[in-house]
Structure 1
Amino acid sequence: MSRILRTEPNPILSKAVEYHGFVFTQGIVARNLDADMKAQTADVLSQLDELLERHGTDNTRILQAQIWLKNIDDRAILNELWTAWLPEGQAPARACVQAVLADPRMAVEIMLVTTK
């Protein structure tokens, strides 16, 4: 039986779950929720870099991304940073929707599925 590795688990969720060469992240939000959309997105992408590195992978190995925006009109800002962050030709399957997030100050939340 393959081992399931859980990163920073708590009673509700784990920051990431690794299984059989796949890494599933939690939804990542900015640390500073008072920042604007651009700063929140940059922080989320930075946190994802750190989390993927911790699991021995990176943004060239993303299979799927799920993105929730407080305001879908912010999609252009997200896409500007997203495309700069992704290596050329490495875009994953992706969904991006407007949603009511857990805290009204949250502008963006991103969850990834990657492989090692």
Structure 2
Amino acid sequence: MSKILRTNPGPILSTAVEYHGFVFTAGLVARNLELDMEGQTRDVLDQIDTLLEQHGTDNTRLLQAQIWVKDIKDREILNTLWKAWLPENLAPARACVQAVLADPRVLVEIMLITTK
């Protein structure tokens, strides 16, 4: 039986789950919810970099991204930072939708599936 590795397991979620060379992240939000869209997006991408590194992978191995934004009008800010963060020609399959998020101060949440 293959081992399942859980990062920061809690009562309702783990920050990431690794299985058979795949890494599935939880939806990540900014640590400081007082930041604007640019600040929150940068923080989430920094968290993703750290989390992927912990699992021996990086943003060159992304397979799928699910992104939720509080206001779809902020998508352009997100996309500008996202494009700068992604290696050229290595964009994952992606969805980006407007959503009511768990805390009204959350402006963006990103969840990934990647491989090692």
Aligned identity (percent) is 77
Cα distance per residue 1:37-93 (max 9 Å; x no partner): 000000000000000000000000000000000000000000000000000000000
1:39 aligns with 2:39: yes
Letter in 2 for 1:99: A
Which residues in structure 2 correspond to 1:1-116 (within 5 Å)?
Answer: 1-116=1-116
Where do 4+ consecutive residues of structure 1 move more than 3 Å? Answer: none
Letter in 2 for 1:10: G
Q: What is the deviation of 1:9?
A: 0.2
TM-score scaled to structure 2, two decimals?
A: 0.99
Question: How far apart, in 1, do the equivalents of 2:76 and 2:12 lie?
Answer: 32
Q: What is the deviation of 1:22?
A: 0.0
Q: What is the deviation of 1:35?
A: 0.5
Cα distance per residue 1:14-37 (max 9 Å; x no partner): 000000000000000000001000
SS at match of 2:53: helix
TM-score scaled to structure 1, two decimals?
A: 0.99
Question: How far apart, in 1, do the equivalents of 2:47 and 2:11 lie?
Answer: 22
SS at match of 2:95: strand
The unaligned stretches of length 5 or more in structure 2 are: none
The unaligned stretches of length 5 or more in structure 1 are: none
